[in-house]
Amino acid sequence: MKQRKVGWCSVRISLIWASIIGLIACSQITTGLYNGYQGTGSEARHYTLVQKYYRQGDYQRSLEESLTLISQYPKSNLYDKALFYAALNKLHLGSPDGDYSEASSYFKRLAQECPNSLLQAESNTWIAVLAALSLRDNEIAALQKELGEKKSRLALFQEEKAETMQQLKGEMELKVKQLQRKKSREIAQLQKEMNRLRKELELLKKVDVQLEQRKKDLRKSGTAGHDKGKNPGSRR
Q: What is the chain's pLDDT, residue by residue, as a tens digit (236 residues)?
A: 444 443 434 444 444 545 555 555 455 444 544 444 445 578 889 999 999 999 999 999 999 999 999 999 999 999 999 999 999 999 999 876 677 888 999 999 999 999 999 999 999 999 999 989 888 877 887 888 888 989 998 898 888 889 888 888 889 888 888 888 888 888 988 888 888 888 888 888 888 888 888 888 888 877 766 666 665 555 44
**Helices and strands in the chain: count of H runs, count of E runs:** 6, 0
Q: What is the pTM of this model?
A: 0.53
- Domains in the chain (CATH in brackets) are 9-146 (1.25.40.10)
Residue 86 to residue 119: CA distance in whole angstroms: 13
Q: Residue 68: name the closest of 49, 88, 54 by CA.
A: 49
Residue 226 one-letter amino acid:
H
Which residues lie closer than 8 Å to 69 by C-beta, 6 or more apart? 43, 46, 47, 50, 76, 78, 79, 82
98: alpha, beta or left? (left if phi > 0; alpha if psi -120 to 50):
left
